[in-house]
Amino acid sequence: MKIVVIGAGAMGGSYGGLLADAGHDVSLIDTWQDHVDAINRDGLLVDGALGEHRVKLPASAEAADGQTADMAIIFTDSNNTEAAAATADKVLGPDNFAITFQNGIGNVEKLQAVLGKERVLGGSSMCSAATRGPGHVCLTHLRGTSVGEIDGGESNRTEAVVSVLEDAGFGAKSVPNIMGTIWEKFVVNCGGNAMCAVTGLRSAEAVRIPELDVFKDRVLDEVMAVLDAKGIELPNPDIVSQIKVGSRKSFNQPSMLQHVLRGRQTEIDALNAIVVREAEPLGIPTPYNQSLVALLKGRELSQQRIVNEPDLDYDAWEARVLAGEED
C-alpha cells in the first residue's frame, strides 16, 4: 500500500516512520520546513516505545504535482483539517481513501465535505508522542489504535489498514463503532489536555493537587452531561472512572501542552469549546469548561508573545491606546 502521512509531527512522524521502517511505501507532508529538511538530509529518527529507528523516506512541505497514494493518514492538528483534506484530495484517486487519527470532534465531517463520505475512515490512537527536534520524534507510549468505517461494520479496507499498522508494531483493531471510539477519546482529551496546557503540569501532577482534581471532575461531569443529552454511546460506559485511575499514572506531556510551550495554536476549539457550544442549545450549564477554554486562550496568547514577540514594546502599545490610536 502506498501511504502519505499528512501532518508528520510527533504522532504522524512516529506512525509514518515506523510504517516505512516496516517496508511500506511512505511519504510525509508537513509544513515545518526545518523538520522536512532534516528528514530529507538525515532520515527521520523515531525512538521510544518501539526502539530506535533511523528511517530514510521522502518528506515535503506540500504535495508534489503527480504525487499519488492509496491511503492518506491525517495527523494534522484540528485547526488544519481543511488544508489536510485539500492535500489528500490532490494525492488520492477516486477509489482511494483517507483515515483520520486526529484529536477532537469535527475532523471526520470536514474531510468528508471535501473527499466524500465513502472516502473517509475513522481512527483513534491512544498512543502518545513528542517532537524532540527537527527530524526527531519519540513514541513515548504505545497504546491501542482503532480503525473503522464511519457508518459502522467491518470492511476489507479497514482490515487492510489494521494489517499495515500491525506490520509496524502498533496494536491495531477494527471496531464496529468508530465514532463512539472517537467520542471516547474526546472525553479523555477534554478531561486532561487543556488543564495541563493551562497549568504547565502533567496529568499525574495536576490530579495530585486536590483543587485541580475536583476541577477535573467537574469538567468531566459537564462533558458527560452533554454526551448523555445527545444520546452518544461510548464503547466504555465507565470511561470517567478509567480516566481518574489513568490520570494518576500518566506522566507524558499532552500534545496541547506541547503546542502551548512552542507558541502554537492549540486544538481547544475542537475539544472543550465543542462541549460549551453543544451544551448551550441543550440548556446544560458548562461553567468549568467555559473557564478552561477562556484560561487556555489567554495562556496560548501569553506563550505566543514569549515565543514570537519577545521584544514587544508594551509601553509603546499603551501609549497608542491612550492616544486613541488603538482600541
In single-letter form, the type of residue at position 234 comes to L
The whole-number pLDDT of residue 286 equals 98
CA 95 to CA 219: how far, in whole Å? 42
Show the cell assigned to 30: 508537513
Which tens digit of pLDDT belongs to each residue from 182-195? 999 999 999 999 99
Which tens digit of pLDDT belongs to each residue from 166-181? 999 999 999 999 999 9
Range of the domain at 269: 180-308
The secondary structure of 13-30 as a DSSP string is HHHHHHHHHTT-EEEEE-
Q: Please give the C-alpha separations between residue 208 and each of 214, 216, 229, 247, in angstroms, as whole numbers.
A: 10, 11, 31, 10
In single-letter form, the type of residue at position 124 comes to S
Instruction: Among 149, 176, 203, identify where a domain stops.
Output: 176
Show the cell assigned to 112: 468528508
> Are both 17 and 100 inside the same structural domain?
yes
CA 87 to CA 62: how far, in whole Å? 8
Which tens digit of pLDDT belongs to each residue from 49-104? 999 999 999 999 999 999 999 999 999 999 999 999 999 999 999 999 999 999 99
Predicted structure pTM score: 0.93
> Are both 60 and 145 inside the same structural domain?
yes
Closest CA to 184 of 144, 129, 140, 138: 144
> Are both 147 and 205 inside the same structural domain?
no
For residue 147, the surrounding DSSP H or E stretch is: strand 145-149
Show the cell assigned to 8: 508528520
The secondary structure of 138-156 as a DSSP string is EEEE---EEEEETTSS--H
> Are both 31 and 62 inside the same structural domain?
yes
> Are both 295 and 263 inside the same structural domain?
yes
How many distinct structural domains can be found in the chain?
2
| CATH classification at residue 41 | 3.40.50.720
Which tens digit of pLDDT belongs to each residue from 297-320? 999 999 999 999 999 999 999 999
Which tens digit of pLDDT belongs to each residue from 113-168? 999 999 999 999 999 999 999 999 999 999 999 999 999 978 999 999 999 999 99
Q: Residues 9-21: what's their mean pLDDT? A: 98
> Are both 242 and 157 inside the same structural domain?
no
What's the Rg (C-alpha) of the chain?
A: 20
Provide CB contacts within 8 A for 134, sequence distance 6+: 32, 34, 35, 37, 38
CB 172 within 8 A of CB 161: yes
Q: What angle, 0 to 180 degrees and rounded to 10, lies between the N-to-C axes of helices 287-308 and 178-199?
A: 60
CA 290 to CA 286: how far, in whole Å? 6
- Count CA within 13 A, CB hemisphere, residue 7: 25
- Count CA within 13 A, CB hemisphere, residue 30: 27
> Are both 207 and 126 inside the same structural domain?
no
The whole-number pLDDT of residue 298 equals 97
314 found inside a domain = no
| CATH classification at residue 277 | 1.10.1040.10
Q: Are strands 44-48 and 136-141 parallel, antiparallel or unpaired?
A: parallel
In single-letter form, the type of residue at position 274 comes to I
> Are both 89 and 17 inside the same structural domain?
yes
> Are both 130 and 214 inside the same structural domain?
no
Which tens digit of pLDDT belongs to each residue from 206-261? 999 999 999 999 999 999 999 999 999 999 999 999 999 999 999 989 999 999 99
22 found inside a domain = yes
